[in-house]
A and B are shown apart, each in its own frame.
Chain A
């Protein structure tokens, strides 16, 4: 079946612009996670959802970052007023239930110039 998809795969934006990153999880998966991965590092947790409810957003770096999953399926991670330090790979993963293994998407490479 179809895996987790993310779009766009690559995004170059100018400092100060807003960006929206999309994640389409595996159909029926309850949990959806967002991570940020810098070069040479492992994925760093940002936030996660069970269905449409945002269960934990403690990893979001500041209030410029927000996420939603309004219908319990597709999720959008929005970064407002982007800064160069936001440049990273943003990964989405979904899981059948909380605590189970996660299935990752290909990621979105964000570059802020």
Chain B
């Protein structure tokens, strides 16, 4: 079965620390990759996406992610976090072919940034 793994369930950082959240998936075919964020009391919002091309993608609020095909990974990074980045982050993988379209989400990583 296809799966998306987010290894860090809960991360606590101080402001200005660097962030890297891991995401691995198990599927050998073509994928579209996403990171979503859910701020407290709000709904899921798209942070960034990868469809093709440059494997290093930049999203909103200074976030970026790198697609490493050989490692089936799409890790999220930010050089310097802010208190306002406190949220839950979800990695998602879209498997698309001529006869199916599947979305799989990881279980999420809760980020707590201490001021």
Does A99 lie within 8 Å of B102, measured CB to CB? Answer: no
- Interchain nearest-CB distance for B76 vs A (Å): 14
- Contact for A107 among B34, B43, B46, B90, CB less than 8 A: B43
In the bound complex, what is the Cα–Cα distance between A98 and B103 (angstroms)?
11
Residue-wise interface mask of A (79-108) relative to B, using a CB-CB cutoff of 8 A (1 in contact, 0 not): 000000000000101000011011111110
Residue-wise interface mask of A (37-61) relative to B, using a CB-CB cutoff of 8 A (1 in contact, 0 not): 0001111110010000001100000
> Interface extent on A, as a size class?
20 to 34
Which of chain A's residues have a CB closer than 8 A to the CB of B45? 104
Instruction: Write the chain B residue with the least CB distance to A55.
Output: B101
Does A98 lie within 8 Å of B96, measured CB to CB? Answer: yes
Does A42 lie within 8 Å of B101, measured CB to CB? Answer: no
User: Interface on A for B, CB 8 Å cutoff?
Assistant: 31, 33, 35, 40-45, 48, 55-56, 91, 93, 98-99, 101-107
